[in-house]
A and B are shown apart, each in its own frame.
Chain A
Amino acid sequence: MIYDIVILGGGPAGLSAAVQAKKDGVENILILERDRELGGILNQCIHNGFGLHTFNEELTGPEYAARYIKQVVDLGIPYLLDTMVLDMTDHGETKIIHVINEESGYMTIETRSAILTMGCRERTSGAIGIPGYRPSGVFTAGTAQRFINMEGYMPGKEVVILGSGDIGLIMARRMTLEGAHVNAVCELMPYSNGLVRNIVQCLNDYDIPLKLSHTITFIHGKDRIEGVTVAQVDDKLKVIPGTDEFIPCDTLLLSVGLIPENEITVNAGVEMDNRTNGSIVGELRQTTMPGVFACGNVVHVHDLVDFVSEEAVLAGKGAAKYVKGTLDTNVTFTTANGDGIGYVVPQQVAMKNVEENVTFYMRVRQVFENKVVNAYIGDQLIATKKEKKLLPAEMVNFKIAKEVLEKYPAGEIRFVVEEAQK
């Protein structure tokens, strides 16, 4: 049997994409999930705050996942759990996906179309190379979250957190609630890398100090971590001599960034974007390989699951169109990140596939106040997005209507941060 769509990953992106494709009339869909249940990383995110945009209410991670799992089940979409994708190969009309699981062993699955939704992983202490010992007690925030929320064990009692990514902030509160003492959250940059609401609700409400422009210069303790040396950095991120401070701890959590997991994507030969570490995608999240789509954190790291679900709807629609043979492949526009902007997704737009508008996701490179993001085609300013404050931690959603884009036959849409017009 040849499937119409196989989805690589049963997290929020995969579930939402599956539901949309099924609603659009595609029959033979299969979801492949490597974990023992659907829902992906949401299962260990037991705090609330999910779904404000999608459902207008505050849900926990598992509750948010359950809403989509219910739709998948109600729509009768089949899925395989504990199933690992080893590889995906392109054979033109179809893709072959090589998988293993305990029950069926090694299998190949043939499909017309694939949606990549493998999510992302955390940057590790190895990647940032903190000097010092390599003891136990150094965890990425997500690993600690799994130990506490899924296994019911504490990683430690006296905690320092490096990096102010959202998982780190959430874990500062979680560990405090479980009786641990969080000494400090150290952030290398002069601004937080987490959402403002998480700074307020997870640090300020619990009197946990956020040390901006601080880093860890040494990990102490041969067997189990015994403390860290923390120091201040200057505006070039170099350590300022004499600012060292020893903070004793038995646990160091790292929340220093997330990296899309694209090994399958790269091996398959899909074209990548080194700004996002994800694949280059179009308005319906089509990649450069016909029939292969990607959405969610595997394309670029989102800060809210609501936007992952939203993006996955596009991929679901796109894959459905592809299967039916109605997906247009003529690229009208490419996008570019100008001054102040780190990346833009999608990187390409095929206007014939656009319904009412295109939402461009992007991140700014630094904190900007009282500025705007302008979109240009050539010298023409085509749209402006106003924000009181632009933060690298908060993704900018820049929606541009179809009528506006239709005025231009082709070209590059360039996004730049500029002074607001007086």
Chain B
Amino acid sequence: MYDIAIIGAGIAGSYIARELSRYQLDIVLLDGENDVGNQITMANSAIIHAGFDAPSYKLKGKFNAVGNIMYEKVCDDLDVPFKRCGSLVVAHDEYEMATIHELYQNGLKNGVPGLRILFREEVHAMEPNLNEDICGALYAPSAGIVSPFELCANVAENAIDNGVTLKLNHMVTAIDKDDDCFKITTSAGNIEAKFVINAAGLFADDIYALVGDPYFKLLARKGNYFIFDKDAGSLVNNVIFPCPSKNGKGILVSPTVHGNLLIGPDAAPVEKGDISTTGDRLDYIKANALKNCPTLPFKKIIRSYAGLRNTPVADTYTTTDGDFILEESPVKGFINVAGYESPGLSSIPAVAHYVVEEIVKPLIPDIEVNHDFNPKIRPHVRFTELSDEERAEIIKKDPKYGKVICRCETITEGEILDVIHRNAGARTVKSVKKRCRAGMGRCQGGFCSPRVVEILARELNCSLDEIMYDQQDSAYILAGETKSAKEEA
């Protein structure tokens, strides 16, 4: 029997697993998908918000700025690309300037460092490609950009390094409570644990309903995004937010940590699991992004995608103020980490610490520190970031770093092999792409995907048609051998 089972290996579940591994506990991290961080964590704005939006009385307000400040250390330990690029909330008129002043005051309450209100000239000096109408902005130097999928993969890897068991393709279908033990039925066998942490993202309400009377409900809200080629990556230096309205933060324009440009997201309620992009919504995003950034080069778009937020909503049996749900539920020993939407990614270092220290620890009085805990993962080789001398040296040590597989992003076979063979390693074409960017570039895997399929098949000792693009079994890439190949055989 495990001490703790965590349901959901997105950023919340994976990060909490890693924080729990600082203690001597038997921990299992479960996910129904075939990779960690494969849903909400995978498709979002990738921004580490400064923390001036949420009111200070909410958990969102309490944890965002604190989580943000922890990011340098976190990304250093976990070897994740992170850049504190700053953000601007821009105003087009005096009404919007009034909102900017309110955000500034709220930011001060939340402890956001370095906030400043900028006037027209300063804004345009800082960001020459913004609309000339913009008359001022709230500047938050602490806002940052991160690679959320690398963060999730690396924090899961670190959790496993420190003793956590990861079980993918384990879809939870039933939970029974029996005295001091939770019996969890999954699509791949049963698991027992003394405590459960429900970090199932969009499905956290459904998971809780397996064990207790529902007291919260989650709504999927979809956001569409566009990614631009690296050619367009330097159009803005800061994350550019429009002035927020009652509909949310609005359409942002942001550099990405890998040097691309991103615009989005809209927000529309949808069925859980609907991550289809929508034609008219994409047009809406383009039109709104142009209001702040009139020279967006739409010809340079290399991908559009949609992601989901999990927003707590009121219904007949619940009331909500839309805050994170971080608590031991009415079912003793069952902890909910739910409604974990923006600024969830920004807050997670602080939230994980809170969940472990303030919620889990009081439940386990005899908890002992894991003195072998190592917060660092083995650093990645990122070939493009090496000097010429370092390149020569690494290829001499391992010739696989001399073979470029992804031309657009210059990703070598050595880097792909490394992400396959690490803990929480890549098993699909998409999971390779998330971890080391092979296929993320302008040709979108046109040239490298056959090579990546080949490498995965070789390393996992299976045939090419057994390699999946994404989800287990249903996202196959190849439909068997050709007639000619069979005849030759």
* Residues on A facing B (Cβ under 8 Å): 34, 82, 84, 86, 98, 100-106, 108, 121-122, 124-127, 129, 131-137, 140, 142-143, 146-148, 150-157, 177-179, 217-219, 222-224, 250-251, 261, 263
Residue pair A223, B400 in contact (C-beta under 8 Å): no
Cβ–Cβ contact B446 & A124, under 8 A: yes
Q: How far is the CA of A147 from the CA of B476 in the complex (A)?
A: 14
**Contacts beyond the supplied A129-B304, A151-B454, A155-B479: 8 A-B pairs with Cβ under 8 Å:** A34-B407, A86-B410, A100-B402, A106-B391, A126-B304, A147-B478, A154-B478, A223-B475
Stretch at the interface among B89-97, B247-255, B275-283: B275-283
Residue of B nearest to A131 (CB): B279
CA distance A268 to B215 in the complex (A): 61
Stretch of B53-61, B108-116, B123-131, B463-471 lying at the A interface: B463-471
Number of residue pairs spanning A and B whose beta carbons lie under 8 angstroms apart? 153
Task: Tell me if B2 is interfacial: C-beta within 8 Å of chain A.
Answer: no
Q: In the bound complex, what is the Cα–Cα distance between A82 and B468 (angstroms)?
A: 26
Quick one: closest B residue to A174, CB to CB?
Answer: B482
Which B residues lie within 8 Å of A131 (CB)?
276-279, 282
Residue of B446, B468, B471, B480 with most chain A CB atoms under a 10 A cut-off: B446
Contacts of A129 in B (CB 8 A): 226, 277, 282, 301, 304
Task: Write out, one digit per residue, whether chain B residues 218-245 have a CB within 8 A of any chain A CB (1) or not (0).
Answer: 0000000011000000000000000000
Q: List 13 A-B contacts (CB under 8 A).
A: A100-B402, A100-B403, A105-B399, A121-B446, A126-B302, A135-B470, A136-B477, A148-B482, A152-B485, A154-B481, A222-B474, A251-B479, A263-B408
Count of chain B residues near A, Cβ 8 A = 59
B106 within 8 A of A: no
- With A106-B388, A157-B479 known to touch, is A152 a contact of B402 (CB < 8 Å)? no
Residues of B within 8 A of A34 (CB): 404, 407
Interface of B is mostly: mixed
Chain A nearest CB: distance from B458 CB in Å?
12
> Please, how many angstroms separate the alpha-carbon atoms of A84 and B409 in the complex?
12
Q: Does B395 contact A (CB under 8 A)?
A: yes
Distance between Cα atoms of A157 and B444 in the complex (Å): 23
For the complex, what is the distance from the CA of A143 to the CA of B452, rounded to whole Å? 12
> CB within 8 Å of A: which residues of B?
226-227, 273, 275-279, 282, 301-305, 388, 391-392, 395-396, 399-404, 407-408, 410, 412, 429, 442-447, 449-450, 453-454, 464-465, 468-471, 474-485, 488
Contact A82 B478 (CB under 8 A): no
CB distance from B256 to the nearest CB of A (A): 15
Cβ–Cβ contact A154 & B475, under 8 A: no
* A121 contacts across to B, CB distance below 8 A: 442-443, 446-447
- CB of B23 to closest CB in A, whole Å: 37
When distances are taken between beta carbons in the complex, the residues of chain B under 8 Å from A151 are: 450, 453-454, 464, 478
Tell me the bound Cα distance from A217 to B304 in angstroms. Answer: 14
**Taking the nearest CB of chain B, how far is it from the CB of A259, in angstroms?**
8
Which residues of chain B have C-beta atoms less than 8 A from A153's C-beta? 464-465, 478-482, 485
Residue in A101, A103, A124, A152 whose CB lies within 8 Å of B444: A124
**Contact across chains for B450 and A101 when beta carbons are under 8 A apart:** no
Which residues from A are CB-within-8-Å of B282?
Answer: 129, 131
Residues of chain A contacted by B447 (CB below 8 angstroms): 121, 143
Minimum Cβ distance to chain B for residue A409 (Å): 39
